């Protein structure tokens, strides 16, 4: 990738990350998702996800999320993030295979893992969800303790239920977009008259 900063890197491509990417890409932010493809949604059968009355296998939901995000304009990279370094208003996100992406904003959507958050130096706190040990400490909008790094979904304390994490990813992306634009961001399409 170029050394010129892109607008946002989203670390994690499950429901929270893909949902955030749909919003940021549709808002014409240059968006890169880096996903290790190791999330728990890949092992789930989702009989409680809104919009799928017959249920949906987790792998299918993840694949649909990726397709939606890339159709919206996001770039998708499969890889493990091993470092996030801050530099004068930008971040360098480095993958385990040595790829480096420079971004103005980062959204952590890493599910049950705080490893990328710890690598970024954000404040970690105890979790309240069952079977989750630690989460990123965020403010009500999803900002972490490091300006420019946001967190969404389970890693930010949202319930592990995919419909909730997807909504939280969208919520945090909308808050990021609102901050960047200086006014409340919204994204609604209307059916053609007819």
In the prediction, which pLDDT does 194 show?
A: 79
Average pLDDT of the chain? Answer: 95
In the prediction, which pLDDT does 3 show?
A: 63
Backbone angles phi, psi at 146, to 5 degrees: -105, 115
| CATH code for position 28 | 3.50.50.60
In the prediction, which pLDDT does 4 show?
A: 85
Q: How confident is the model at residue 23 (pLDDT cuts 50, 70, 90)?
A: very high
Q: Is the pLDDT of residue 26 over 60?
A: yes
Number of domains in the chain: 1
| Owner of token pair 């014409």 | 28
pLDDT single digits (tens) 63-120: 999 999 999 999 999 999 999 999 989 999 999 999 999 999 999 999 999 999 998 9
CB atoms within 10 A of CB 73: 16
Q: Domain for residue 67, yes or no?
A: yes
Query: Residue 148: exposed, middle, or buried by beta-carbon count in 10 A (0-12, 13-18, 19+)?
Result: middle
Q: Domain for residue 20, yes or no?
A: yes
């Amino acid at each position: 990738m170029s050394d010129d900063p892109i607008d946002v890197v989203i670390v994690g491509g499950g429901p929270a990350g893909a949902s955030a990417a749909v919003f940021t890409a549709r808002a014409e932010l240059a968006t890169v998702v880096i996903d290790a493809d190791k999330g728990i949604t890949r092992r789930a059968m989702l009989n409680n996800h809104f919009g799928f009355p017959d249920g949906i296998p987790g792998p299918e939901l993840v694949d649909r999320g990726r397709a939606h995000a890339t159709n919206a304009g996001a770039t998708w990279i499969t890889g493990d993030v091993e470092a996030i370094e801050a530099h004068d208003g930008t971040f360098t996100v480095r993958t385990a295979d040595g790829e480096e992406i420079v971004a103005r904003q980062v959204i952590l959507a890493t599910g049950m893992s705080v490893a990328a958050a710890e690598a970024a130096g954000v404040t970690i706190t105890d979790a309240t969800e069952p079977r989750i040990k630690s989460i990123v400490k965020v403010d009500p909008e999803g900002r972490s303790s490091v300006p420019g790094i946001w967190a969404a979904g389970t890693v930010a304390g949202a319930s592990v239920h995919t419909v909730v994490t997807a909504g939280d990813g969208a919520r945090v992306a909308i808050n990021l977009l609102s901050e960047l634009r200086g006014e409340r961001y919204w994204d609604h399409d209307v059916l053609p008259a007819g």
